[in-house]
């Protein structure tokens, strides 16, 4: 099924007699849901763009590349830095803007501007009963009841099928620079990242690649963006704060962060890939548990330690699950031969699971939207 309008989408969902697997471009799907495929790619096109107001509205099936091209022509961008997971997952589809919202896909700039949901100002969607729901609009505002704009981001199609999304935008900066320190062990690197993020120098990226993922000496990376004079001043001050660093400018800096954003060091590498969201001060606990157990692994820390990517050999699901209790949660992004995909689905705390079930019952009482396969 591939609706070409919101009306067709609503009719298809109302008439569904089996579960539906909601798919945009198929580039971010971690686990295949049960049911008939319902594609949103037919809902495509930018319906409103006001560069002066830094506002864009697009249908959910619009390719991300189309959105980024239109914005680039006006020297603007989506602030949250959309990751491209096709290389990591071995996919060849076309990423859609609705899929980005459904996954709350957010890159390294989250430490400065927040996640995708923080740039999202309005949504239209069709719930599990075929009803069209609208929330938010072209300006930021408070709402009563559900803050559906924030709720839908990251819900992965379980509350409704997006038909249209609205964003606040960001002007592209005049300059950017990356400070790179080499050879730091993870504990030293994470301390340096937290020190930089706690400084007044407006950091827009804070990441660390361990020696294995960096392909040699480890790399500790800090990004700053803005007016050229401001970037130069902040780079000098951060060097004094953190010690000896190489400073990389312009396109070379951007390429470094594209690799972090897309988890490029793990592309075409054997092993399971796990994505963890953890308390930054506890970011060492999972790799330490793997090391203690003698499990080969490589690590990439983003968001100052709050986002941890692991490339792991062997079947280690119970070990990772135990290590994240109380400090965060883990999702298996790419399985290996020893790890079943369903073993890695993010597990919720009992209270959160109860809340999630209640929300799904309210928006999809028939339970037909992106129901997990048994």
156-170: pLDDT as tens digits: 888 999 999 999 999
34-87: per-residue pLDDT in tens? 688 889 999 999 999 999 999 999 999 999 999 999 999 999 999 999 999 999
What confidence tier does 141 reach under pLDDT thresholds 50, 70, 90?
A: very low
What confidence tier does 148 reach under pLDDT thresholds 50, 70, 90?
A: confident
Percent of residues, the chain, with pLDDT higher than 70? 92
The pLDDT of residue 244 is 86
Residue 144: pLDDT over 70: no
Residue 306: pLDDT over 50: yes
Model confidence, pTM: 0.89
Q: What is the mean pLDDT of residues 326-335?
A: 89
How many angstroms separate the CA atoms of 367 and 95, rounded?
Answer: 26
Tell me which range, 227-236, 346-355, 358-367, is most confidently predicted by mean pLDDT: 227-236
How many angstroms separate the CA atoms of 356 and 354, rounded?
Answer: 5
Smallest CA-to-CA distance from 344 within 368, 372, 364, 363 is with: 372
162 exposure class (CB count in 10 Å sphere: 0-12, 13-18, 19+): buried
Length of the chain: 374
Token pair 């308390």 is at which residue?
Answer: 279
99-132: per-residue pLDDT in tens? 999 999 999 999 999 999 999 999 999 999 999 9
Smallest CA-to-CA distance from 345 within 369, 365, 321 is with: 321
Helix locations, the chain, DSSP H: 6-15, 64-73, 86-89, 97-103, 110-113, 116-119, 148-152, 186-197, 211-214, 228-242, 250-261, 285-292, 317-324, 350-363
Phi/psi at 221 (5° precision): -125, 130
The pLDDT of residue 317 is 86
The pLDDT of residue 142 is 39
- Round the average pLDDT of the chain to a whole number and report it: 89
What confidence tier does 137 reach under pLDDT thresholds 50, 70, 90?
A: low
The pLDDT of residue 30 is 66
* Residue scoring higher pLDDT (103 or 344): 103
What confidence tier does 231 reach under pLDDT thresholds 50, 70, 90?
A: very high
Smallest CA-to-CA distance from 225 within 216, 234, 217 is with: 234
The pLDDT of residue 85 is 93
Residue 374: pLDDT over 50: no
β-pair type (161-168, 120-126): antiparallel
Q: How far is CA 278 from CA 99, 121, 322, in A?
A: 24, 27, 13
Answer for the pair 343, 332: CB distance below 8 angstroms, yes or no.
yes
276-289: per-residue pLDDT in tens? 999 998 989 999 99
How many angstroms separate the CA atoms of 289 and 285, rounded?
Answer: 6
The pLDDT of residue 164 is 95
Smallest CA-to-CA distance from 166 within 204, 127, 116, 132 is with: 116
Q: Which residues of 136-161 are buried (b: 16+ CB within 10 A; e: fewer)?
A: bebeeeeeeeeebbbbbbbbbbbbbb
Residue 324: pLDDT over 70: yes
Provide DSSP, 353-374.
Answer: HHHHHHHHHHH-TT--BSPBP-
What confidence tier does 335 reach under pLDDT thresholds 50, 70, 90?
A: confident
The pLDDT of residue 349 is 65
Residue 298: pLDDT over 70: yes
How many angstroms separate the CA atoms of 37 and 3, rounded?
Answer: 11
């Amino acid at each position: 099924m591939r609706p070409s309008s919101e009306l067709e989408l609503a009719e298809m969902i109302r008439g569904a007699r089996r579960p539906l697997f909601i798919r945009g471009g198929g580039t971010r799907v971690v686990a295949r849901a049960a049911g008939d495929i319902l594609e949103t790619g037919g809902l495509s096109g930018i319906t409103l763009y006001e560069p002066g107001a830094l506002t864009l509205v697009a249908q959910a099936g619009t390719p991300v590349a189309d959105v980024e091209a239109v914005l680039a022509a006006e020297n603007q961008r989506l602030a949250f830095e959309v990751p491209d997971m096709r290389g990591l997952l071995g996919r060849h589809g076309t990423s859609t803007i609705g899929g980005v919202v459904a996954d709350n896909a957010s890159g390294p700039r989250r430490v400065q501007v927040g996640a995708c949901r923080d740039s999202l100002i309005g949504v239209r969607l069709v719930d599990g009963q075929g009803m069209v729901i609208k929330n938010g609009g072209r300006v930021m505002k408070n709402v009563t009841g559900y803050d559906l704009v924030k709720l839908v981001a990251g819900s992965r199609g379980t509350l409704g099928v997006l038909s249209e999304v609205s964003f606040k935008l960001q002007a592209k900066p005049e300059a950017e620079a990356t400070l790179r320190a080499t050879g730091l062990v993870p504990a030293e690197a994470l301390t340096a990242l937290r020190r930089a993020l706690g400084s007044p120098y407006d950091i827009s990226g804070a990441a660390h690649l361990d020696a294995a993922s960096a392909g040699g000496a480890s790399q500790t990376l800090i990004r700053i963006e803005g007016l050229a004079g401001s970037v130069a001043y902040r780079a000098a001050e951060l060097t004094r704060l953190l010690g000896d660093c190489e400073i990389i400018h312009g396109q070379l800096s951007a390429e470094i962060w594209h690799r972090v954003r897309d988890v490029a060091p793990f592309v075409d590498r054997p092993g399971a890939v796990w994505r963890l969201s953890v308390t930054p001060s506890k970011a060492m606990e999972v790799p330490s548990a793997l090391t203690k157990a003698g499990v080969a692994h490589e690590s990439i820390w983003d968001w100052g330690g709050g986002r941890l990517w692991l490339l792991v050999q062997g079947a280690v699901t119970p070990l990772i699950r135990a290590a994240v209790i109380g400090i965060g949660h883990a999702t298996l992004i790419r399985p290996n031969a020893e790890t079943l995909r369903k073993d890695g689905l993010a597990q919720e705390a009992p209270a959160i699971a109860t809340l999630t079930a209640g929300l799904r019952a309210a928006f999809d009482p028939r339970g037909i939207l992106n129901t997990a396969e048994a």
